[in-house]
Amino acid sequence: MLSTPDESFSGQRTPEGVAARLERLILDGIFRTGQLLPSERRLCERLGVSRASLREGLRILRSKGIIETRQGRGSTVASLLPAREQSPLMHLFRDHPRTLFDLLEVRALLEGESARLAASRGNPADRVLITRRYREMADYVASADPIDVERLARLDHAFHLAISQASHNPVLVHTLQSLTDLLLSSVFASVKNLYHRPEPREMINRQHARLHDAVVKGKPQLAQRVALEHLNGLGEALREIEAEDERLERSAMRLEGWE
């Protein structure tokens, strides 16, 4: 039997309802891993609940391991995934560069869909954040001399993450966030190996601009196509550099009489 609006609202004020509302905020990325939750007074005001219900709701989240509370420091969102650095699989991925091309394929699958959903579901606030991240990246590229590869990689990653958050699909967002270390490594490799070359640099800048425009102008199919072109283009450019290095190595070996 469906509850009436008054019953539904009342249920949101119970400790269980408070916990469920906070869980939704965490799933939606409003509160992120490691982030300090607002004060009890602020949470009570925003959620329209009593302090007693809030405290019991927070206790429920602590019992689930979703938040961590330290005396005198408040509550923070706990890590929702196993520590990446403890995963043998992550060590294998990091230590074997060939997996970079596999990762680019995965990024194309996930980020292509993220761009499509962001263009169709994104709201004005999402578009402001995407544009802000894009401008931070573009302004740095235009002004920095020389380019700090690690900083640019982080700005690049932040731009793509803002697009994924605008998809409003918590599972997709958290899947991408669980791969943060690997995604950053792929962005770093792309920037390090391609950005000092004029043609790839122009390609990357142009594709980022087109991706930004397609998403903020609400063009889902175009956004997906540009995202796929961007990631496939990176893979092709990196493979060409790899082939070029192999050709140079063979030529050097012949010169030294190894063949």
- Peptide bond between residue 82 and the one before it cis (omega within 30 degrees of 0): no
Cβ-based burial of 199 (10 A; exposed 0-12, middle 13-18, buried ≥19): exposed
Q: Which pLDDT belongs to residue 201?
A: 87
Phi, psi of 66 (to 5 degrees): -85, -30
Check residues 249 and 122 and name the one with the higher pLDDT. 122
Residue 123: phi, psi to the nearest 5?
Answer: -105, 175
Across 62-71, 95-104, 206-215, which has the greatest mean pLDDT?
Answer: 206-215
Q: Is the dihedral of CA 201, 203, 206, 211 positive or negative?
A: negative
| Residue 130 near residue 230, CB atoms below 8 Å | no
Asked if residue 235 has pLDDT above 70, the reply is yes
Over residues 38-62, the mean pLDDT reads 92
Residue 136: its pLDDT value, please? 97
HEC assignment per residue over 43-60: HHHHHCCCHHHHHHHHHH
- DSSP annotation of 36: B
Mean pLDDT of the chain: 81
Which candidate, 125, 190, 184, places its Cα nearest to that of 155? 184
* Residue of higher predicted confidence among 30 and 242: 30
Q: What percent of the chain lies above the pLDDT cut of 70?
A: 79
pLDDT above 50 (res 5)? no
Compute CA distances 83 → 35, 197, 201, 254, whole Å: 17, 36, 34, 47
What is the C-alpha separation between 237 and 231, in angstroms, rounded?
10
What is the Cα–Cα distance from 174 to 190, expressed in whole angstroms?
23
Q: 159 or 69: whose pLDDT is higher?
A: 159
pLDDT of 9: 41
Residue 248 has pLDDT above 70, yes or no: no
Q: What is the H or E stretch that residue 90 is in?
A: helix 88-95
Asked if 138 and 208 count as a contact pair (C-beta separation under 8 A), the reply is yes
Paired sense of beta strands 67-70 and 74-77, if any:
antiparallel
pLDDT: which is higher, 46 or 78: 46
The least confident of 186-190, 237-241, 250-254 is 250-254
Q: Looking at the predicted structure, is the pLDDT value of residue 257 above 50? A: yes
Instruction: Name the one residue in this structure whose structure tokens are 């982080």.
Output: 154
**pLDDT one-digit tens code per residue, 80-105:** 655 444 455 444 455 555 567 777 88
**According to the model, what pLDDT value does residue 6 have?**
39
Residue 182 has pLDDT above 90, yes or no: no
Average pLDDT over residues 215-242: 89
pLDDT in the model for residue 8: 40
Helix (H, G, I), strand (E, B) or coil at 69: strand
pLDDT exceeds 60 at position 245: no
The yes-or-no verdict on residue 242 having pLDDT over 90 is no
Alpha carbons 113 and 198: distance in angstroms, whole number: 29
